[in-house]
Amino acid sequence: MKSLLLATDLSSRSERALLRAASLVRQFDCPWFILHVVDSDQPQLRVELEVEQIRRDLEARLGEFTERAGRAPEIWVEAGDPAPRIAECARWGDIDLLVMGVHRRNALRDVFVGTTLERVVRTCEKPVLVVNREPESSYRDLVLALDLSPTSARAVRAAKALGLMDGARCRAVHAFEPFAKVMLMNAGIATPALDDHLTGEERNARLNLMAFLDEQGLLALVGEQRVEEGLPMTVLRRVMADSPPDLLVLGTRGMGGIKRVLIGSVADAALREFECDILAVPPGRD
């Protein structure tokens, strides 16, 4: 990891993200930046006063930030629409990782638009580390949620390049849905034949997962491969119930608006539901 950006809304939730960002900076000895965006949807004078006050408040904590991370951050206070402004700063700041905490929710608005965090994940071209827990140590147990798509490949490449997999227990999870299961059941196929079909589909899914990990150069790093029948979120819920990780790694597809509401998003569901930290890697641009 060469550099990171912490985007904070100055809430207690963001304090956990601050602690994780400082821990990563100390671990990787990299430059870091702290960003707060003042919502510009208010009177201009109020925006200007708020920008200056928050800048003073953050600069007053510079000694604390430096002590925690082992090096001083650069402070950025900007005005604008928070989600696109955060994504823009991550882009022109040439950072490797954006770190954020969970945000307040507005039930009706979030159905169609999403929280600031979810909007950033859908629009930012950089990996986004969502911090839910106060850090106790470096990440030691990672779950890689893989659908074997280019999106998954980008996500695991990002986790590896950032150094988050180094020295950690890494588990790959892949959900598969047997293509012909429903047709066979509706056709009244005997149970033994149906079981044979499911066994064959699971075997193919395992082979495909191994081929994917080999292609990404991860076979030696991934110690456990969990392949289960079911929808991705259903399988991930089982994993979280059985043995929750420190960090869940997944790719996102950047869907927005009505399409996201109608189709749904595993990333959105994971961000809303799971309590572990999440590395969400948007499609971005290679």
Would you identify the CATH topology of the domain 1-134?
Answer: Rossmann fold (3.40.50)
Domain spans in the chain, listed from the N-terminal domain onward: 1-134, 137-285
pLDDT in tens, 99-134: 998 755 444 334 333 578 888 888 888 999 999 988
User: What pLDDT, on the 0 to 100 scale, is given for residue 111?
Assistant: 38
On the question of pLDDT at 273 being above 90, the answer is no
User: pTM (2 decimals)?
Assistant: 0.86
Place of tokens 């572990």: 276
Nearest to 142 by CA among 241, 207, 222: 222
User: What pLDDT, on the 0 to 100 scale, is given for residue 229?
Assistant: 87
Cα distances (angstroms) measured from residue 214 to each of 108, 174, 207, 210:
43, 15, 11, 6
The more confident residue out of 77 and 119 is 77
Mean pLDDT of the chain: 84
Percent with pLDDT over 70 in the chain: 84
Two domains, one topology: 1-134 and 137-285: yes
pLDDT in tens, 28-69: 999 999 999 999 988 999 999 999 999 999 999 999 999 999
Domain 137-285 carries which CATH code? 3.40.50.620
User: What pLDDT, on the 0 to 100 scale, is given for residue 197?
Assistant: 60
Do residues 176 and 227 touch, judged by C-beta distance below 8 A? Answer: yes
pLDDT in tens, 211-269: 999 999 998 889 899 999 888 899 999 999 999 999 999 998 754 443 333 334 788 88
User: What pLDDT, on the 0 to 100 scale, is given for residue 174?
Assistant: 94
Give me the residues paired with residue 99 across strands: 6, 129
